[in-house]
C-alpha cells in the first residue's frame, strides 16, 4: 500500500488523538457522556493502526485503500465533533447532536467490521510462518500422545491398585475365615465330646432307673415291700411316697441327661456346619471376579453362620415336615363319606 502525504497527515492526527479525553463524562455529566462512542472510536483506531503498520504485506486494490482512509477520515471527523460538542447554551440541540454522534460511531463501527477486520485476519494469516506452524503442530501432537500415555499409565495404575486391594482383602478374608473355622472346629469337637459323655449318662441313668424299678417293685428290697406292712396304711403311704420320690429323681436324671445330650449334639452340628461354611467360603469367593456374585457368597455365608439353624435335636426346632392332623382326619372322613 502506497501512502500519500494527505493520508500520512490523517495517520499522524489520529496518533495524536487522546481517546480517553473524548469521553468528557466529568465535564458533560453522565447523560451527555461520550464514553460509549469513545470506546468504539478507540477500537476502530486500533484496527486502522494495525492495517497501516502491516500495509507492506498487503496487496490491495485502490478502492479498498480508499475505503480504509475513508474510515480514517470519518474517525477523525467524529473526534472533532465530540471535542466541539457544547452543552451550555445549546440545550435545545444538544440531545439530537449527542444522539447523532453515537449513531455515526455505530455506523462507522459496522463499516470497520466489513473493511478493516477482514484485512486484519488476512494479516494474521500472512504472519504465520509455515515452519513455526509445523513445529507447533508437532508439539501439540507430541503433547497429545504424552497425555494419552499418562492417561493409560494412570488407568493401568488404578487397575493394579484395585487388583492389589482385592488381593489384600481376599487374603485377609481368607485368613479371618480360616481362623474362625478353626475356632468353630474346636467348639464342635468340644461339644461332640460332651455329647458322648451325656449319652453315656443317659444310658447309665436309664439302667439305674430300670434296676431300681425292678428292685422296688419286684420285692427284692424287703423294707420297700408293701406286703410286709401287714395292712398298715401309714407305712403303705410312706413306702409309696418313697418309691415315687426315687422314681422321680431317677426320671429327672434321665430327662436332664437326655436334654444335655441333645443340646451338646445340637451345638456340635451347628459349629461343624459353620466350620465347613468358613472352610469353603475363601475358595468360592476366589472363584469369581464378579462383585455381585462375591457379595451374594458373603451374604449366604453370613446367613449360614449367624442364623439359627435347625438340627432336629432340640424340641424347639420343629418338624420340617409337620403332619396336619386336621387334614388327615378330613381326608379320612371324605373317603368314608359315600
Q: What is the pLDDT of residue 272?
A: 84
pLDDT digits (tens, 9 = 90+) for 252-283: 999 999 999 989 888 888 888 888 877 776 77
Q: What is the pLDDT of residue 102?
A: 93
Q: Please tell me the pTM assigned to this model.
A: 0.42
pLDDT digits (tens, 9 = 90+) for 71-111: 999 999 999 999 999 888 888 898 999 999 999 999 999 99
Phi-psi region of 319 (alpha: psi -120 to 50; beta: other; left: phi over 0): beta
Q: What is the pLDDT of residue 35?
A: 92
Average pLDDT, consecutive stretches of 10 residues, N- to C-terminus, the chain (338 residues): 82 89 88 92 92 82 88 92 88 91 94 90 76 68 79 70 56 65 84 90 90 80 70 80 87 90 88 80 69 73 72 65 45 49
pLDDT digits (tens, 9 = 90+) for 278-305: 777 677 766 666 767 777 777 777 777 7
Q: Are 218 and 236 in contact (CB under 8 A)?
A: no
Q: What is the pLDDT of residue 77?
A: 93
Q: What is the pLDDT of residue 325?
A: 38
Amino acid at each position: 500500500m502506497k501512502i500519500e502525504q494527505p493520508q500520512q497527515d490523517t495517520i499522524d492526527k489520529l496518533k495524536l488523538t487522546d481517546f480517553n479525553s473524548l469521553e468528557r463524562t466529568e465535564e458533560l455529566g453522565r447523560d451527555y457522556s461520550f464514553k460509549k462512542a469513545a470506546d468504539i472510536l478507540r477500537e476502530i483506531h486500533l484496527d486502522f493502526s494495525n492495517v497501516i503498520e502491516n500495509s507492506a504485506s498487503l496487496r490491495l486494490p485502490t478502492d479498498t485503500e480508499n475505503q480504509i482512509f475513508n474510515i480514517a477520515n470519518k474517525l477523525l471527523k467524529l473526534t472533532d465533533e465530540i471535542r466541539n460538542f457544547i452543552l451550555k447554551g445549546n440545550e435545545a440541540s444538544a440531545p439530537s447532536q449527542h444522539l447523532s454522534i453515537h449513531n455515526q460511531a455505530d455506523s462507522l463501527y459496522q463499516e470497520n467490521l466489513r473493511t478493516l477486520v477482514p484485512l486484519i485476519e488476512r494479516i494474521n494469516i500472512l504472519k504465520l510462518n509455515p515452519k513455526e506452524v509445523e513445529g507447533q503442530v508437532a508439539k501439540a501432537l507430541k503433547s497429545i500422545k504424552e497425555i494419552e500415555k499418562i492417561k493409560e499409565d494412570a488407568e493401568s495404575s488404578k487397575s493394579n491398585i484395585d487388583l492389589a486391594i482385592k488381593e489384600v482383602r481376599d487374603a485377609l478374608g481368607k485368613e479371618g475365615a480360616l481362623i474362625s473355622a478353626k475356632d468353630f472346629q474346636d467348639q464342635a469337637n468340644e461339644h461332640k465330646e460332651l455329647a458322648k459323655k451325656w449319652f453315656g449318662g443317659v444310658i447309665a441313668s436309664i439302667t439305674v432307673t430300670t434296676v431300681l424299678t425292678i428292685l422296688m417293685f419286684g420285692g427284692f428290697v424287703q423294707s420297700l415291700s408293701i406286703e410286709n406292712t401287714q395292712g398298715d396304711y401309714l407305712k403303705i403311704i410312706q413306702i409309696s411316697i418313697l418309691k415315687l420320690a426315687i422314681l422321680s429323681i431317677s426320671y429327672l436324671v434321665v430327662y436332664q441327661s437326655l436334654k444335655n445330650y441333645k443340646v451338646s449334639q445340637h451345638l456340635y452340628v451347628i459349629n461343624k456346619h459353620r466350620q465347613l461354611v468358613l472352610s469353603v467360603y475363601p475358595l468360592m469367593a476366589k472363584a469369581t471376579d464378579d462383585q455381585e456374585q462375591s457379595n451374594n457368597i458373603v451374604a449366604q455365608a453370613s446367613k449360614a453362620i449367624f442364623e439359627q439353624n435347625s438340627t432336629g435335636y432340640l424340641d424347639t426346632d420343629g418338624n420340617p415336615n409337620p403332619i396336619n392332623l386336621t387334614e388327615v382326619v378330613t381326608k379320612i372322613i371324605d373317603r368314608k363319606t359315600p
